[in-house]
Amino acid sequence: MECVKNMTIIESVACICLSVAVIGRVCSSISFKKVQNEQEERFAYCQTKGTKELQADVIQIEESQAGLLAVIADGIGKENTGQVCARLVTDTILDAYESYQVLKKTDYFFQSSFLEANERVQKSLGDRKGGASVLAVFYDGEAIHYALAGDIKLLFMRNGELIPISKGQTIAMLAKQAFYEGSLSKTEAIWSKEETTIWNYVGKEGFKEVEKSNPPIQVKQGDYVLAMTKGIYEEVSLARIEDILRKPDTLKEKVDQIVMEAEQKREVEKENGTVFLLKVEV
């Protein structure tokens, strides 16, 4: 496991290398000062390769005066293409965020940074096929703002219950929307219900507008914000995740337990998985 708390850089690197070599799992928890001489764990994440040879999920997190931004990219593509795309996307969005002291126009920031990431990925791909599902979550101290291209899930937990936030840009969600708009029959909608193919992602020709929080999600003290990629939500039920989050464990222990649950499933094929957990302090 990646251990960054109270460690030197050399010790941290050694810990990361050991954890990846032994179990193929990377976990981290971060503390920030809440008041002088008092620290509290704010967020944690954990990753697993599943049954894949490479880890194509990338997560990057930055906290500044503007707030906290977490970017998760689930790479798409053969060999190391997905890995490269995911890294390029997260780097691009975090680079765009660095200049902000205050971030009020989140919709503009998300749309412009995702478009820039899309252009950079397309230029780097050449003749190859690839890209990434991408979720960016911004917490300004009062509300959660997010942007999504693809099928990474975002939820929050209040009073012990997980509540989905993101819808996802899948064929199933398009069919559901079309049914409510009256342009798709009930039978057609039912046939499309289990279709998980994504219709939009960063790096795609004809990249479309991202799904955004409109309005922002107002959060309360003690709420949890949870994000997870396919290798987690396909393997671990929401009921089981709720049980884990209700326990009086640290954030690091919670995300580690969720990943362990995913790894224990005896599926022949399991995707890369990332879980990110933020504890709301207002």
How much of the chain, in percent, has pLDDT values that exceed 90?
66
C-alpha span between 190 and 129 (Å, rounded): 31
Given a contact cutoff of 8 angstroms between Cβ atoms, the answer to whether 203 and 107 are in contact is no
Mean pLDDT of 121-126: 92
Band of residue 199 on the pLDDT scale cut at 50, 70, 90: confident
Query: Could you tell me if 170 and 195 are in contact, meaning their C-beta atoms sit under 8 angstroms apart?
Result: yes
pLDDT per residue over 217-272, tens digit each? 999 999 999 999 999 999 999 999 999 999 999 999 999 999 999 999 888 899 99
Place of tokens 């990361």: 16
Assess contact for 25 and 19: CB atoms under 8 A.
yes
The domain made up of 9-279 has a fold known as: Phosphatase 2c; domain 1 (3.60.40)
Phi, psi of 230, rounded to the nearest 5 degrees: -55, -40
Average the pLDDT over each of 113-122, 143-152, 166-175 and give the range with the smallest value: 166-175
| 192/188 Cα distance (integer angstroms) | 6
Stronger pLDDT, 273 or 184, i.e. the higher one: 273
Q: Where are the domains of the chain?
A: 9-279
